[in-house]
Amino acid sequence: MIGIAGAGAFGTALAIALGQDSRDVTLWARDGEQAQAMRQTRRNMGRLPDGLLPASVTVTADPLDLRGADVILLTVPMQTLSAFLRDHPQALTNSALIACSKGVDLNTLQGATALIRAAIPQAVAGILTGPSFAADIAKGLPTALTLAVAEGEGLQHLLSTPTLRIYRTTDVIGAELGGALKNVIAIAAGVVLGAGLGESARAALMTRGFAEMLRFSASLGARPETLMGLSGFGDLVLTCTSTQSRNLRFGLALGSGAAFDPGVTVEGVATSRAVARMAAGLQVDMPITRMVADLIDQKIPLDQAVISLMSRPLKQE
């Protein structure tokens, strides 16, 4: 049995994809009324209304129903993951725990797998990440993801379907950071477009942003080739170029001065703050990340942020 903790859009999409391949899936929803509605309609009307849950998917509001799963995919938001792990150890013990959250915990400055190991030390901990939108997965459109875990060949086969192709790596740090940092760069890309700076500026920002991703990840022991794969470059391209990306849309609003729905989770907001703090301590140069964090916290106006980036000392690429 595959457990999925979190019935947002991505958790629901994974349940649909895995359930369509005749796997037994248990999908946990935090809200009891939501779980009941999903059982009745076989749809997540609030987050993914066009997706139909297969018969092999069981929806529950009791986290203990996840017990005994071969693997539990943790699709709760990054900033609530630590509390979820702390509150439900009985449901999570004895299962492989694979995080699907992309970000850095703002309180501990740790990634998802470190949080898992701290809360459930005996668990196999990993992360599933890469360029993917929930709507595409739910529709059965071809999607490729990276599973980062120390020993995961069995999990790789368990989570692969005819439309969901899973690649595997042991570089957990690199996969985590690729998924986290690309959200920050996507906000910056949205700011560029929202401010009317043009497509050429977005291309330049993505390129220099990727250099930041490589530099920061290397300082923490990640392998450069990991960042050049699905979990880094691939995810960066998708998130910086499609308005399906919440981080890009948030950046567009930030750059244009428009309002943004505060109820929408934008993982790059907290991650930009966390990574800016980490980079300062590690003495890693992260000008784009620092700009994003300062803009979000209203420490600098937009025009000053642009000037500060464009006036940096010239150097070799």
User: Please, are residues 264 and 184 in contact by the beta-carbon 8 Å criterion?
Assistant: no
| 116: enclosing H helix or E strand | helix 112-119
Active site residue: 102, 139, 182, 299, which one?
182
Q: In angstroms, rounded to a whole number, what is the distance separating the alpha carbons of residues 268 and 293?
A: 9
User: Please, are residues 117 and 150 in contact by the beta-carbon 8 Å criterion?
Assistant: no
Q: Which residue has the tokens 């567009």?
A: 252
306-315: list long-range contacts, CB under 8 Å, 24+ apart.
Answer: 306/195, 306/197, 312/287
Q: Is 150 helix (H, G, I), strand (E, B) or coil?
A: coil
CB-count exposure of residue 64 (10 Å: 0-12, 13-18, 19+): exposed
13, amino acid identity: A
30, amino acid identity: R
Considering only CA atoms, give the Rg of the chain. Answer: 19
Active site residue 182: yes
β-strands 71-74, 125-129 pairing: unpaired
260, amino acid identity: F
Torsion 236-241-243-247 (CA) sign: positive
Catalytic residue numbers, as ranges: 182
